[in-house]
Amino acid sequence: MVDAPQVFATSPAEVQATVGADAGKHVEPELLGLAPYQIVSLAMLVLLLVVFLGAKVHRAIAANLDSRIAVIRSQLEEAKVLRAEAEALRDEYAGKLAGAEADAAALIARAEHEAAVILDKARADGDDMVARRQRLAEERIAGAEREAVDALRTRAATAAAEASRLLIASRRDETTERRLADDLIASL
pLDDT in tens, 136-179: 989 999 888 888 888 888 888 888 888 888 877 777 777 877 88
The mean-pLDDT minimum among 19-33, 63-77, 113-127 falls in 19-33
- Give domain limits for the chain: 1-30, 31-171
Its pTM stands at 0.36
Decide if 9 contacts 15 (C-beta within 8 A).
yes
Please state the rounded mean pLDDT for residues 71-83: 94
- What's the gap between Cα 87 and its chain centre? 17
Using a 10 angstrom Cβ sphere, with 0-12 exposed, 13-18 middle and 19 or more buried, the burial of residue 39 is middle
Q: Which residue has the higher pLDDT, 123 or 28?
A: 123
Q: Which residue has the higher pLDDT, 65 or 165?
A: 65
Is pLDDT above 60 for 22? no
> What confidence tens digit (pLDDT) does each residue in 1-14 have?
455 555 555 666 55
The mean-pLDDT minimum among 1-10, 24-33, 46-55, 76-85 falls in 1-10
Nearest to 5 by CA among 37, 28, 31: 28
Is pLDDT above 50 for 59? yes
